[in-house]
Amino acid sequence: MELSEKKEEVTETLHIPVLRKKWQILVLQITSTVSLLLLLKRMSDIYGPCSDDFILNNNADTWCPSYEHTRGLMWMENANGLLIPDFLLGVGQTGTMSMIGPLVLCLFATFAIERFWSSSQELQNRIKQVAAALLGAWVILPFLFSWIFATFSNGFHFPWNSNDSMNHIGELFHPLGLMGELVFLGIVFAPVLVGLIGIWGLSKRSITWVVGYYIIVIAFHAVLTFEPIVSEVDVGLRALPTQIGEGSMFGGLVSPLASSLLGVAILMLLFMESGTAAISHMEYAASLPEESKRDSEYIRQFNNVVNSHLIQLLVVVSLVGVTTALALAFDDLMISIVGILEGTQWTGQVKESLELQMTYGKVISAGLFIIAVAGLRFVVPWQIVSGYVESGISRLRSN
Amino acid sequence: MLAGGVSLILVGMMISNFQMMIIGLTFIAFISINGWIVGQSELEITRFVPHSNVYKGDLIEVSLTITNKSYRRTQLLEVFDNVPHEMKIRRGINQIRINLGPGQSTKLDYMLRCPLRGHFSVGPISVRHRNAFGLFVNESKIEDMCDITVFPQVRDVEDAMLRADVPKMYTGATTLRTPGPGMEFYSLREYLSTDPIRSINWKAFARTGEMMVNQKTRDAVTDVFVILDTREVSRIGTVLKNPLEMGASAAASLASHFLKRKDSVAMVTYGSRMDFLPPDTGDKQQYKVLSRLASVSPSGSMPLQAVTNALSPRISRGSPVFIISSLEGDGTTLPAIRNLSGNGHEVIILSPSSVDLERLVSRIPRMAYEVLKLERQNRLTAVSGYGAKVVDWMPDVELSQALVQSRG
């Protein structure tokens, strides 16, 4: 017993390699990763399809700038062919299956980048030199070989010529095809790659970048599907409905569209908070001197802080989801309450008001609800209640 | 996040996009819910410092016990004990992140090194409470201060004083054949109500049946005067190695040495003004000397002669006088020492080499260094010509070694 206790004292420290295996930190990182993948899936579902008109009016080879990679890659394949194999790009697959290959690429790239960053500066320089040399060779060598071999059959000539067999300049631009493929892939999977690097490579900036990227994607989609813009330039994106619809899920609380959009917001929040939390805790641990990393009090308090963070993350994010859903349905409640107070002309007008259920009314009523929720903290003494419960439990345990 | 949320709602409203509005609302809801988690700093924090008086270079263990006395969880708290920048954390760290449940407590231990002498205060304790997501931060201070006095280092100069050419014959306790405070037995006499109990000779009481007390022979003492130069010029050198730091350490060591020998020591510091600590003996005097030396700082340009003139009526005849000064920038040094020697005092000058100390912080051209060094040698030779014993104290030489090199 004593021996095992001593062993535990030695093994539990606040060193980064030990923390990386700590279950609380792993839960935070895995939660963040799962949120990121679910966010990708949900974003693809909402912003991936092109508009019905676009699909009807164009064939499968045409491309619209939606949040989906296979359509663009297929368009490229038809134009010039693809350098990366289809199974890695997800070309020819639909739905979730089309993401498997690129996700494997992202995982591999995350691992490679992580190893690259953790290697010595000398090795990093060597890898950069070799990569640059390989890229240079890929650009130059096919061009040189094709030109030299062509001089044997056609005699000496300049590499640019109207005759295709004597024109070799195109070889120089061959690697650009790969860049194009990576761009199409990157539009959808760059946030996944950067997010994974952020979560597992411990970079808060990367995590913030991902959230910013998704908000920009949403903003671009919103602008490109905005009615006055669509009437001028229709790029074929499918617009979101202007009405959020009647609540039919979770006991009539939210509509399917609201649930879907709320899911994106909650996943974004969960990804950001759990990812940055893991990094913050490890940053704090890294800032401690060697003796404190082994100090049992520091370890105990670190566990206290991380455990309560996990509980708060779970509770707060759930409450945020519920509160936002309630806030979105608050206009209905207000109309129902006013409806009960029948009799005056004003109540009748409000009851029949469509404006309250449209964008402005919904947001204003939601804002009012959230303000009320924020104010409730001065009324509900939950911390004192939970404190009494906690001290009661600890007293029972000690008895 | 608040700005982002509001912006998303507004932009979403402008272009009738529910996704942006919902993300904005979610961010705002997140902030609102976070507002429910309020940290608190109703803590009982006690700081324990085993010693409030230490010597320069010593280590101090500081221990903070933090207890949550309330019925609420503290939430994420950062406790930071403010440490003066002159002190260096040697082990542990002066901050901790905690989340204490009701009634729970924790302990923060760290060790400080005191590389500089002076009077310092550890504290107040800063408590920053924030919620788990770092959205709300509130900082408060607990005004719990702990004063620490860092005395200059006291070196053992016993051997050096024996070997050095300094006035040994005057110093040390000399027994006189008269009763009084001292160490050696003088006689027995009857007990008086004013006598301390511990002076009772119990064996004599058992033998005679009368209360008898031991009388001691009175120790005669010599007054030793230590004059320390704290003028602005004593700043030359690095923070840790300059004439004042070397001088403070030397003054403390000499005072300690003579006080141990039951001599009476007076301490004089002069810079912007003269401070005189009258001669006295014992541990209390040592504490006073060390406290005085802990607080000296380089300032002013008072001439030495002004000090010796002011002191002359107070210096006992024949008392040895130690002057600790770089002897820089003072044209009155020679007449002052001439006067002291002329009055029959044994004068010992301990002079930290300011030229060599300056070399520690700035590059002096070789030629200039040679010239400055020659000037200094001439000055020291002139001083020794007036009968003073001079110690040219180089920065890398220990005090005991320097004392042995005294020349007259």
Amino acid A109: pLDDT: 93
pLDDT at A258: 85
In a domain, A397, yes or no: no
Cβ-proximal residues to A75 (8 Å cutoff; 6+ apart), any chain: A61, A62, A63
Question: Quick check: helix, strand or coil at residue B265?
Answer: strand
CB-based burial label for B215 (10 Å; 0-12, 13-18, 19+): middle
**Over residues B68-74, mean pLDDT:** 85
Domain of residue A50: give its range. Answer: 14-297
Most confident of A137-146, B68-77, B115-124: B115-124
Residues shown for chain B: 408
Contact B389, B408 (CB under 8 A): yes
Complex confidence, ipTM: 0.84
Report yes or no: B275 and B285 within 8 Å, Cβ to Cβ: no
pLDDT of amino acid B381 = 92
Out of A289, A292, A305, name the one closest to residue B99 (CB).
A305
Report pLDDT for A7: 46
Q: What is the β-pairing status of strands B347-352 and B389-393?
A: parallel
Is pLDDT at B191 greater than 80 in this prediction? yes
pLDDT confidence band for B163 (50 / 70 / 90): low
For residue A392, what is the nearest residue in chain B, using CA coordinates? B102
**Taking CB atoms and an 8 Å limit, are B101 and A240 in contact across chains?**
no
Report d(CA A343, CA A340) in Å as an integer: 9
Residue A329: closest CA among A224, A259, A277, A384: A259
Question: Looking at residue A250, what is its pLDDT?
Answer: 75
Spatial separation of the C-alpha atoms in residues A92 and A71, rounded to whole Å: 10
Of B34, B72, B131, the CB nearest to A387: B72
**Domain contains A275:** yes
* β-strand pairing of B321-324 with B347-352: parallel
Q: What residues of B are in contact with residue A223 (Cβ under 8 Å)?
A: 15
Distance CA A239, CA A245 (A): 15
Average predicted confidence (pLDDT) for chain B: 87
In three state form, how does the secondary structure of A6-75 look?
A: HHHHHHCCCCHHHHCCCHHHHHHHHHHHHHHHHHHHHHHHHHCCECHHHHHHCCCCCCCCCCCCHHHHHH
Do the beta carbons of residue A67 and residue A217 sit within 8 Å? yes
Helix (H, G, I), strand (E, B) or coil at B373: helix
Cα-based torsion angle of the residue sequence B360, B365, B369, B370 in order, rounded to the nearest 10 degrees: 150
Identify the H or E element spanning B279.
strand B274-280
Domains of chain B in sequence order: 2-29 (no CATH), 43-151 (2.60.40.10), 158-172+221-404 (3.40.50.410), 182-220 (no CATH)
User: What's the pLDDT tens digit per position in B352-380?
Assistant: 998 899 888 888 888 989 999 999 999 99
Q: Which residues of B touch A360 (CB under 8 A)?
A: 13
For A367, the closest chain B residue by CA position comes to B25
Splitting chain A (399 residues) into consecutive groups of 10 residues, what average pLDDT does each group show?
46 88 95 96 90 79 82 81 82 84 92 89 94 90 86 80 77 82 90 95 94 93 88 86 74 82 94 95 94 92 93 92 89 74 67 62 85 86 80 78
Any domain includes A362: no
CB contact under 8 A, B33 and A316: yes
Q: Is the separation of the CB atoms in A68 and A55 below 8 Å?
A: no
What's the pLDDT score for residue A6? 45
Per-residue pLDDT at A121: 92
Q: Does A316 fall in a domain? A: no
pLDDT, tens digit (0-9, with 9 covering 90-100), for B19-42: 888 999 999 999 998 888 877 767
Residue A360: alpha-carbon gap to chain centroid: 28
- The pLDDT value recorded for residue A66 is 86
Contact B37 A316 (CB under 8 A): yes
Q: In angstroms, what CA-CA distances link B48 with A2, B116, B147, B358?
A: 31, 21, 12, 40
Is A328's CB within 8 Å of B102's CB? no
Check: CB of residue B293 under 8 Å from CB of residue B324: no
Answer whether A324 sits within 8 Å of B26, measured CB to CB: yes
Note whether residue A310 is domain-resident.
no
- Name the nearest CA neighbour of A317 among A280, A278, A265, A277: A265
What's the confidence (pLDDT) of residue A350? 66
The alpha-carbon gap from B137 to the nearest alpha carbon of chain A, in Å, equals 15
Determine whether the interchain pair B100/A289 forms a contact, defined as Cβ–Cβ distance below 8 Å.
no
CA B152 to chain centre: 5
**Model confidence at B322: pLDDT above 50:** yes
Rounded to whole angstroms, the Cα distance separating B109 from B92 reads 7
**Domain membership flag for residue A66:** yes
> How far apart are the CA of B35 and the nearest CA of chain A, in angstroms?
7
- pLDDT range class, residue B312, cuts 50, 70, 90: confident
Q: Is there a contact between A383 and B91 if contact means CB atoms under 8 Å apart?
A: no
* Residue A168, helix vs strand vs coil: coil
Which segment, A173-177, A387-391, B118-122, B342-346, is predicted with the most confidence on average?
B118-122
Distance CA A171, CA B324 (A): 86
A295 to chain B: nearest residue by CA? B92
User: Nearest C-alpha of chain A: how many angstroms from B152?
Assistant: 29
Q: Point out the residue among B18, B96, B132 whose CB comes nearest to the CB of A244.
A: B18
Residue of A nearest to B134 (CA): A277
Better-predicted residue by pLDDT, B103 or B230: B230
What domain count does chain A have? 1
* Chain B: closest CA distance from residue A193 (Å): 23
B122 CB-side CA count, 13 A: 28
> What pLDDT, on a 0 to 100 scale, did the predictor assign at position A4?
46
Domain-embedded: residue A57: yes
Residue B224's DSSP bridge partners are B265
